[in-house]
Chain A
Amino acid sequence: MKQHELKAGALLLLAFASILAFAWIVGVNNPLSHRLHLYVTYHFAGGIEIGSPVRVSGIKVGQVDTIEFYAMQKSEVISNKEPGSMQDDKNTAQAPVRLRLSIDPKAAISIRQDSKFYINLAGVIGERYIEITPGHRNKGEIHEGDQLIGTDPPRIDQLLSQSFDLAGKIASLIEDNKDDITHTVELMVKLSTNLNKTLTWVERSELFKSDLGKLVTSLLALSQDLHKMTQKIHGPEGERMMQLLSKLIQRLEPLEQKAILDFFQKEGIRVHLF
């Protein structure tokens, strides 16, 4: 009987152990099996941590495995510049951050050599993740262990400090030229009051109104006359006259060309002015 009990107990323990082993195998193998590893370098990896998600077109496909400080070779130069990111010459000499990403190979098909690796913010608590844009079809596919260059996120802290600087400069400028500015403003105020006075005077004065009326009517008559004249020129009479003129010029051409041309040019100008 005791032998039986011992056997049964051992069997139960074995069953528990096998459950644990099964869970361990599944837990260890499943997420890590068939993963593609990429290395992405950054100057500034704004808050990325180990385990931060990696997304392609917004879908989670992997995570950040390791973060290491990686001494870059002299020949390598990071080329893509983003507004706000620190990309000075002195910075390229420093050791950038290298992240190792493990990515689902199914998603890796759409990642190409020209894909961009942005660092984005998401969620209510603002967790960071790496967003990979799908690359162009013609570019080469990525392979296990490839080294790519990440797009640095805009450094909010630097942007803030820069804008703060700018604001300070503007403030000091205003502070320095306080008198000039107040003077200008005063002048502008005076000018506008004068203009206002003039306008009200114009509005009120009867004399100006009647004069303006006369001026307008005469201008109208003038434009009507001009209109008639141009119509005549465009009409058949005008055309005939032009033809006659051109014939005259052709005939005169073989004669003293220069003198005639000069003469006509002068006359022509006069005609135009007339």
Chain B
Amino acid sequence: MSTPAWIRPATLKEALTMRRDYNARPLAGATDIYVRHRAATGTLPPLEDRPVLYVGHLPELTSISEDGKGWLRIGAATVYTDILEHPDTPLLLRRAIEELAAPALRNAGTLGGNIGNASPAADAVCALYALHAEVDLAGHAGERRVPIAQLITGPGKTTVGADELITAVSVPMDRPGSFHYYRKAGTRRANALSKIAFCAGGTVLEGRLTGLGVAVGAVGPTIVHSRDLEVRAEGSDLARYRKLQQEESAPGGFLTARYMALISPISDQRSTDAYRRRVTENLLRDLFERTIPTLLSGKAG
């Protein structure tokens, strides 16, 4: 039997079989794949002769549910508009989705697609890093759950197995004390690609910072983040936070300096390395010198 060009499985189980048997390329909204493999008018997109595995219709991949432990599980093929409309979507993710594209793209694009394509500039994926999202994968060997940062290893590179599918993304829901910080410097105000995507979140309750997440997109080959630095700030009250910040006398303190050391921006058709560096530093300082101290001092409005 010849290899089919387009596969539409009836169930997730069938999808996994097809994925393994044909090395099929999973596709839901096509907003990444059909742009990267752009077809001229009246022609087929050059898809390297790998069959397409359409998964946009599978109920297992398109539902959103709470897990009862404060996490929201979002099906990998859920379109952005549905994520935006869900009442429990964390604000940070919501902000990133609102600004990531125009309605037509939000009506087609999915988290699974953005994660699978591993673009270092993907706004929603950047928010997932800051939220410490976990990704569910299904394969013939069974299911596994991986922190987002461990799944993506390089531009366009992930550890998703050749027989696996991304099935869902889980994010912690906002709770009392949750804060989010989202800034995007785009090529324009709407429907824009990011020159820099900057996401941060965490919780400040009774003057203590927990669960800090910071992620910066489009300033390195992958989204920049640091579990170590986040852990260093864990549990800080204002005094301890200030002490941490004083460990380095650089502008913006210890955290700014350490994050600046992690970024490696380049000049490309959208922006320059100098601009990316300066703006990242400005945003880090705004977060670490103003936003977090204000939250910790309980003066937030």
* B and A form one assembly: no
B residues apposed to A, CB below 8 Å: none
A residues apposed to B, CB below 8 Å: none
